[in-house]
Amino acid sequence: MFIGKSLTNIRILNDLSRSQLAEKVGVTEQAIWQYENGYMSPKLEVVNILKTIFNVKSSYFYSNDLLSDVDMNNIQVQNIAYRSETINSLNKSQSELMHVRFIDVFLKKIESKINYPKNSLLELRKDTISFLKKNSEMSREEQIRHIAELARGRIGLEENSNKNLLFLLERAGAFVFEKEIGETIDAYSLWTEEDRPYIILGSIKKSAARRNFDLAHELGHLLLHYKVEFTMQDKKSYRQLEDEAHAFASEFLLPEKQFKLDCSRIIKVSNPDAYIDLKQKWKVSLQAIGMRAYKLGFINYQQQRYFFMSINKKGYKQIEPLDNEISVEKPMKIKSILQLLFEKGIYSVSDLMDDLKIDQSFLTVLTGIDEKFFQKHREQEEQKFTVSELGIKAAK
């Protein structure tokens, strides 16, 4: 029997409305509604089109999907924190919510075979909440400064470097993924009800410096805005939350003591090119460095204006010096887990495909891991016969 809920979930996962899916399939929007609500089963040719669109097997639609036996309240749409200039549409939020739900259940499926170290980010979040309660009279600016300093030490960043930021966040307990989010969203983050921290990065090509700021921004949301209902905010309140995460990222990536020392050696303080060595050191954009220098009083208002006029004139809004030279870190935690399971023979790519009733391409969409990784491990599953296994012996 065709299971309409499986179609609904995977449609939302792929950010398609019923009318958009109907156009792709070549049926009416009413027909899609009937499939999803159990009033009509699609013909075989329609199922074949659906499986191609969604990179799954035909049997996917005739069985319960990953989400059928899980608590859908584990991940709440209102807790998704976007790094974005605008509050996002309900449709987009629902699509991203569905994506994280699929990821979360997928991880639970493969995690039954492994053990994680202590979640340092969870401990850091608890300490952050405790600090804010004990220091409620402190200005918000001071609170953010203290929490950024605490986070930097706990995660394990060096005193004067942001090297390996993504790796250190993953080691501390974050689950970081890449996916196509869209041009208006840089990243988003959330805590599940089971205290798992997710950071989702947009896969649109970005420099290492800008990606580092996205990571720090989302870490700020995870620590400062636990249980905040983002979808319930008006534009002013939403902007304030974004500004706080932005301030955290600046404090976190460019710690005041070390950054002041660096800036004291700059001669032409209003020239962006004078800060290129600092960009190399901290792996933060020149624009973020300029804002931080102004915030700390190293450049005045007129110098800041000249700085950003130069940024525009030199074309640094689009691409800055070193953007093509500083390597971009990629999430490795889930890839490493899967590689361990595949190499130890605990799980195989074919097992996953059969269990989930999906195609190989679906794994890439879900995890953000290059399809070549899965293809390589599938090829290694193939039996390689030896002469002895064929029963052939040399003549005496």
Give tens-digit pLDDT for 186-222.
889 999 999 999 999 987 778 999 999 999 999 999 9
Nearest to 376 by CA among 366, 358, 365, 364: 364
Judge contact between 286 and 275, C-beta under 8 A: yes
Residue 219 falls within a domain, yes or no?
Answer: yes
Of the candidates 109, 99, 104, 94, which has an alpha carbon nearest to the alpha carbon of residue 74?
Answer: 104
* CATH code at position 124: 1.10.10.2910
Q: Where are the alpha helices (DSSP H) in the chain?
A: 4-13, 18-25, 29-36, 44-54, 90-111, 120-134, 140-155, 165-172, 208-224, 235-253, 256-263, 276-282, 286-295, 301-313, 333-343, 349-356, 360-367, 371-381
Same-domain status, 216 and 287? no
What pLDDT sits at residue 63?
Answer: 87
Question: Would residue 388 count as lying in a domain?
Answer: no
Residues 87 and 201 in one domain: yes
pLDDT of 381 > 90? The answer is no
pLDDT digits (tens, 9 = 90+) for 110-133: 887 787 888 999 999 999 999 999
134 near 184, Cβ under 8 Å?
A: no
d(CA 284, CA 307): 16
Q: Are residues 202 and 81 part of one domain?
A: yes
Whole-number Å distance between alpha carbons of 224 and 218: 10
User: 120 and 237 in one domain?
Assistant: yes
Q: What is the total count of domains within the chain?
A: 3
CA gap 127, 104 in Å, rounded: 25
Are 86 and 227 in a shared domain? yes
> How many angstroms separate the CA atoms of 136 and 178, rounded?
36
Check residue 75 and give its pLDDT: 82
Residue 31 pLDDT > 90, yes or no? yes
Residue 363 lies inside a defined structural domain of this protein = no
271 and 151 assigned to the same domain = no
Q: Is 143 in the same domain as 197?
A: yes
In a domain, 213, yes or no: yes
- Give the CA radius of gyration of the chain: 25
- Structural domain range at position 49: 1-65
The residues pairing with 179 across neighbouring beta strands, listed in sequence order, are 202
Measured distance CA(279)–CA(288) in Å, rounded:
9
Question: Which one of 35, 65, 95 terminates a domain?
Answer: 65
Q: Which of 142-156, 209-223, 253-267, 378-392 has the lowest mean pLDDT?
A: 378-392
Compute the mean pLDDT over every residue in the chain, rounded to the nearest whole number: 90
pLDDT tens for 234-289 read 889 989 999 999 999 999 999 999 999 999 999 999 999 999 999 999 999 999 99
Shared domain check, 178 and 79: yes
Nearest CA to 185 out of 260, 110, 91 is that of 91
Give yes or no: residues 241 and 127 share one domain: yes
Inside any domain, residue 352 = no
- pTM for this structure? 0.90
